[in-house]
Amino acid sequence: MKNSKKVILFLFALPVLLTAQSSTPTLESNAEKIAEVQTHADYVWTMVAAFLVFFMQAGFAMVEAGLTRAKNTVNILMKNLMDFSVGSLIFWAIGFGIMFGTTTTGFFGTDGFFLSDFTKDGDPWLFAFWLFQVVFATTAATIVSGAMAERTKFIGYIAYSAVITAIIYPVFGSWAWGSLYHGSGWLEGLGFIDFAGSTVVHSVGGWAALAGAIVLGPRIGKFDRNGRAKAIPGHNITLAALGTFILWFGWFGFNPGSTTAAITDIASIAVNTNLAAAGGAVAAMLTAWAVIKKPEATMAFNGALAGLVGITAGCANVSALSSVIIGLTSGVIVVLSVIFVERTLKIDDPVGAISVHGVCGAWGTLMAGVLDINGFSLSVVGVQLLGIVSAFVWTFTTAFILFKLIQKTIGLRVSPEEELEGLDVGEHGLECYPEFEKVSK
């Protein structure tokens, strides 16, 4: 009787035992599960990093608004908003295809416009990658806003923003980063090092800012009859400080996020990023203290940003000590560059964008080759110099022509009366601080 009960229980349990046996993990199934988890982590990290970089738009808006006069605040905020809004649409329609589309020449992509050719593949990674890239593209565009602040027509600025996102930034981006998706750029084929965009993003934005500031000319009252520069203080240093901290925070998405993978390298890249920013802030403060006899706050803000820009190229291939060196030197360079641009070149850049992004972007790109953790090589440094020069020639030339065309057609600069009154009322029909501006007038 007992034996018969055991037989019956065994027969009932047999399907369960067979099922359990068939679901026993194998090496292959474990590998698939691990790969699936890694893929999901890559998506999550890339998207979180993209969100952090998007938040940098708020940082740029705060820095630019704080370092300019109250009567132009609405105009600054609108330009930053439209940089991202117009830029997103243009990059979706044109820029992404030019930057990452397939190419036979190595100069620019020829498909993927409106993401149409790419979505046929059914690869969901496209959407994560596109979002991460569009926040970079609009960062390059918005850098120019500060250098052209307080005297630029809104419609002229929007036209510029559309063209840099559609053509100027994507073409150089395809040279340096095309193979990150379907492209293949000639510059990256030579071994050009620019991990997160000291040159691709920041110098491109900085050199476009240089072209725009030259074509526009200085603000009314910036230089006296003898050509000496006069200070035009910003209206809210608190906003500028807040913007600096936001940008510093967002850079933890900008640099570590450029791995587009949830890997352990994220930690060292984040540390390098932070050390360079800290070094830049300290060095700029000390340099300003020595040169202009005060530990000037806005110079320290720009020093932190200069350190961040400088480390962006080499954050994944230099040591922590090298990151400190890059930050310290960038902090010194940005102060001297701001003074040189203003006093020697007589170019009016209200926020120092040319020096922070153009000059320190080039410096950081060079240092990524000089301080390469894999060892010093003249050939590597030569490629870095080629990339720096190529970025300047391409961006400055095309941006200068673009700004001249805008100037001759729809107009680039507001009237003297509108500039004196403030762009908020003339361009947008409202004031940011109505009561304050009534008192100040």
43: tokens are 């998506």
Report yes or no on 4 lying in a domain: no
Indicate the residue type of 312: T
Q: Does 439 fall in a domain?
A: no
Looking at residue 166, what DSSP letter applies? I
Query: What is the DSSP code string of 330-342?
Result: HHHHHHHHHHIII
> What average pLDDT does the segment 139-168 reach?
98
CA atoms within 13 A on the CB side of 74: 15
How close are the terminal C-alpha atoms of the chain, in Å?
107
Q: What is the pLDDT of residue 208?
A: 98
Residue 439 and residue 441: Cα distance in Å, rounded?
Answer: 5
Neighbours of 110 (CB within 10 A): 15
Query: Is 26 a residue whose pLDDT tops 90?
Result: no
Provide the pLDDT for residue 440. Answer: 52
The number of folded domains in the chain is 1
**Rounded CA gap, 381 and 164, in Å?**
28
**3-state class percentages of the chain: helix first, strand second, coil last, to nearest 5:** 75, 0, 25
CA 292/CA 327 separation, integer angstroms: 21
d(CA 232, CA 308): 26
Q: With CA atoms as reference, report the closest residue to 56 among 252, 226, 304.
A: 252
pLDDT of 238 higher than 80? yes
Nearest to 285 by CA among 265, 303, 272: 303
Predicted confidence (pLDDT) per residue in 272-312, tens digit: 999 999 999 999 999 999 999 999 999 999 999 999 999 99
Count of CB atoms situated within 10 Å of the CB of 11:
9
Residue 287 lies in a domain: yes
CATH code of the domain containing 190: 1.10.3430.10
- The DSSP code for 219 is P
Higher pLDDT, 414 or 25: 414
d(CA 254, CA 135): 9
Tell me whether residue 16 is in a domain: no
Distance CA 173, CA 185 (A): 8
* Distance from C-alpha of 300 to C-alpha of 286, rounded to nearest angstrom: 9
CA distance 183 to 325: 34
In a domain, 440, yes or no: no
pLDDT in tens, 341-367: 999 999 999 999 999 999 999 999 999
Return the amino acid letter for 34: I
Write the pLDDT tens digit of every residue in 69-100: 999 999 999 999 999 999 999 999 999 999 99
Domain of residue 367 covers 36-428
Q: 96 in a domain, yes or no?
A: yes
Confidence grade of residue 246 (pLDDT, cut at 50, 70, 90): very high
Q: Give the Cα separation of 161 and 152 in Å (integer).
A: 13
Task: Please report which confidence band the pLDDT of residue 9 belongs to, taking 50, 70 and 90 as the band edges.
Answer: very low
Residue 31 covered by a domain: no
Q: What are residue 139's phi and psi, to 5 degrees?
A: -65, -45
Q: What is the largest CA-CA distance in the chain?
A: 117
Judge whether 49 lies within some domain.
Answer: yes
